[in-house]
Structure 1
């Protein structure tokens, strides 16, 4: 499954790396692409293992906002 998340609060490449690390740490995530200019993260994951809520929580735990 592929889902696009809006990510607010990113301002640099380090922020992108932080979001990528946090999302990749969620079990069941197979790929993540974060785009600073669009303030988005596209995540590919297995819905049997990872949930949208878990991915959102990981991004928020890294210090960024994910608007509903």
Structure 2
């Protein structure tokens, strides 16, 4: 399992990169991802709405 840390809202660009990377791990590689929340909880990553794997294996984000 991959665990992500650092969901600081102050750095929106970095947060976006982190979430896209988590989508790739989950959808593209089948690796479970959890986000470490400020209170210490681990929450499972849910891919972005519209993110999907195509039959040829490529990933696509609609919208």
TM interval, shorter chain, is 0.3 to 0.5
Q: Which has the larger radius of gyration?
A: 2
